[in-house]
Amino acid sequence: MAEGQIRQSLSGFYDVFSDGEMYRTRARGNFRKKRVTPLVGDRVRFESSSPKEGYILEILPRDNSLTRPPVANIDQGVVVTAVKAPDFSTNLLDRQLIALEVSRIQPVIYFTKTDLIDDQRYQAFEDLAAAYRRLGYAVCLTREPFASTGLDQLRELLADQETVIMGQTGAGKSTLLNHIAPELTLATGEISTALNRGRHTTRKVSLMPVAGGLVADTPGFSSYDTLTIDYRELGQYFPEFRRLAPDCRFRGCVHVNEPGCAVKAELAAGDVLQSRYDNYLQLLTLLQNQKPVYHKKK
Ligand code: ZN
């Protein structure tokens, strides 16, 4: 029995990388009975008599998993964001960041289409990038789209990490992947995502070695699942709110109407972005009105 990581899944076969070798395996029937589907990125125990034939025996505990793309144990998510066409909104950006934070995935922001805006507008994005960097997020922003400084910065971030690329349709996910890993020869224009939609049987998912790390070759996360968190937890997924919360007068402060709220104090002082606070309030209302999600007992 050996341990390895699933690097590709296709039509019921799982390619497991172990000790420098790739093994083609299948999942034992007991996974289907337990309704567990092995995911690309899963660390597994398997047995094999040859590199072409083997069985997955056990899936080791996951750090996290995503449905779009279906991958597990992701460290990092690159949020590809167009500054224009489609129009930029901090709301969408923040929602993507929160979705990653909830899955315990470190976000990286990569701005595209900077050739479509003038210098004044570009300066506004420089300011915004600086604000998000202060939150602890890496931000790639260059005056020319896909300039080498931005790509080099991203390649450095990819090393030793398992990364997914996400973003709105038209943001340029596939183009970015083509730039950092031309050998993947992805169809641009998000064609690969469109083809994958709704057809599970033919879907191929892989983790490709890129710049010393692994990148999921299927861009995903183009639409967003409902957040299944309690509204009282939302502030934990805003790094600046998380940092300030211990200074709020009341334990469990949700930073709306409570007196002595440290978040609102910093907002008034201009140290918390108004857009972040507005987006927080909007998400909070959404979560408060959301019907509770019940999970069936296994
Ligand atoms: Zn507060």
pLDDT along the chain (298 residues), means of 10: 95 94 90 85 95 93 88 95 95 93 95 98 98 97 97 97 90 90 59 44 78 83 67 96 98 96 98 97 92 63
Domain range list for the chain? 2-61, 66-216, 231-288
Distance from the alpha carbon of residue 243 to the mean position of ligand 1, in angstroms: 11
Number of alpha carbons in the 13 Å side-chain half-sphere of residue 87: 2
Contact 91, 120 (CB under 8 A): no
CA 134 to centroid of chain Cα atoms: 20
Q: Can you give the pLDDT at residue 190?
A: 40
> CA–CA separation, 232 vs 176, rounded Å?
36
Cα-Cα-Cα-Cα dihedral sign, residues 284, 104, 61, 15: positive
Q: How far is 283 from 289, CA to CA, in rounded Å?
A: 10
- Look up the CATH architecture of domain 231-288: Orthogonal Bundle (1.10)
Q: Give Cα 175 to chain centroid, integer Å.
A: 17
Around ion ligand 1, residues with a beta carbon closer than 5 Å are 248, 253, 255, 261, 263
Instruction: Take residue 4 and report the two structure tokens written for it.
Output: 């390895």
Name the strand (E) or helix (H) holding 47: strand 43-50
- Contact (Cβ atoms closer than 8 angstroms) between residue 53 and residue 42: no
Specify the pTM. Answer: 0.88
Q: How far is the CA of 29 from the centre of ligand 1 (A)?
A: 50
What is the DSSP secondary-structure string of 145-190?
A: TT-HHHHHHHHHHHTT-EEEEEE-TTS-HHHHHHHH-GGG---TTT
Amino acid at 165: I
CA triple 89-92-93, angle to 5 deg: 85
- Tokens at 265, concatenated: 């104090």
CA of 173 to the centre of ligand 1 (A): 36
CA of 28 to the centre of ligand 1 (A): 50
Q: Ligand 1: distance of its center to the CA of 269 in Å?
A: 14
CA-to-CA distance for 278 and 36, rounded, in angstroms? Answer: 39
The distance from CA 5 to its chain's CA centroid, rounded to whole angstroms, is 20
**Which residues have a Cβ under 8 Å from the Cβ of 76 and sit 6 or more positions away?**
105, 106, 107, 108, 157, 158, 161, 162, 163, 164
pLDDT at 225: 58
pLDDT score for 186: 55
What separation in Å is there between the alpha carbon of 261 and the centre of ligand 1? 4
77 token code pair: 């998510």
- CB of 82 within 8 A of CB of 229? no
Cα 135 to averaged position of ligand 1 atoms, centre (Å): 17
CA-to-CA distance for 284 and 298, rounded, in angstroms?
A: 30
CATH class label, 2-61:
mainly beta
Which residue in this structure is represented by tokens 């597994």?
44
Ligand 1 centroid vs 127 CA: distance in angstroms?
A: 26
Backbone angles phi, psi at 6, to 5 degrees: -70, 125
Q: How far is the CA of 63 from the centre of ligand 1 (A)?
A: 30
Please identify, in words, the CATH class of the domain defined by 66-216.
alpha beta
β-pairing, 106-112 vs 76-82, is parallel
Nearest Cα to Cα of residue 275 among 89, 82, 127: 89
Q: Which residues are annotated binding-site positions for Zn(2+)?
A: 248, 253, 255, 261
Q: Which residue has the tokens 């983790």?
A: 207
Q: Distance from the CA of 265 to the center of ligand 1, in angstroms?
A: 9
Please tell me the distance from the alpha carbon of residue 167 to that of residue 93, in angstroms, as a whole number: 9
